[in-house]
Amino acid sequence: AALLVLCNKYSQKRKKIRICWVRDWILRRATYGAHNNLLKELKIEDAQQFRNFIRISAVDFEELLSKVGSVIHKQDTHLRTAISSTERLMVTLRFLATGDSYQSLMYLFRIPACTIGGFVPEVCSAIYTELKNIYLKARFILIKLNGNF
């Protein structure tokens, strides 16, 4: 019986003690992150490279943001400042454009990979919901015209 108690004690996973809640370099996102530095510069100074970075023009980006911004917007809390809808959309578009891993995007945008993994599907769903009637109805109309129901 004592052997079972000892085996059970060692086999149980110990609760991981967090050394830090958020890494210091991630806290400097507002100062050094790609959204607040590189992308703002590209948007103003070099529209072609902005388009190359997220595969959408600045004008189209703003239009898309106006459509999905209210859906993907999160409220600030007392404990943290929420990631802006602009930043959420940029990270998602960069992910869709390049297929970079969440880990790679974490270093570029200074947003934790687990957080990116949480909001990328939400933003993709919002984009689909907002744009499906505009871009997918054309196929439905063609099918209807051809009589291929």
Predicted confidence at residue 97, as pLDDT, reads: 94
Q: 123, 72 in Cβ contact below 8 A?
A: yes
Asked if the structure places residue 19 within a domain, the reply is: no
Look at residue 17 and tell me whether its pLDDT is greater than 70: no
Residue pair 111/105 in contact (Cβ under 8 Å)? The answer is: yes
Q: How many domains does the chain have?
A: 1
Tell me if 9 is assigned to some domain: no
Query: Letter for the amino acid at 4?
Result: L
Q: Is residue 102 part of a domain?
A: yes
Decide if 121 is inside a domain.
yes
For residues 132 and 143, the model is more confident at: 132
> What whole-number percentage of the chain has pLDDT above 90?
40
**Which of these ranges, 44-48, 66-70, 98-102, 117-121, has the smallest mean pLDDT?**
44-48
Query: pTM (2 decimals)?
Result: 0.73
Written as six digits, the tokens of 6 are 């000892």
| Mean pLDDT of all residues in 80-95 | 91
Q: Would residue 4 count as lying in a domain?
A: no
pLDDT at 63 over 70: yes
pLDDT beyond 70 at 59: yes
Domain range enclosing 128: 24-73+82-146
Residue 60: name the closest of 138, 125, 127, 136 by CA.
Answer: 127
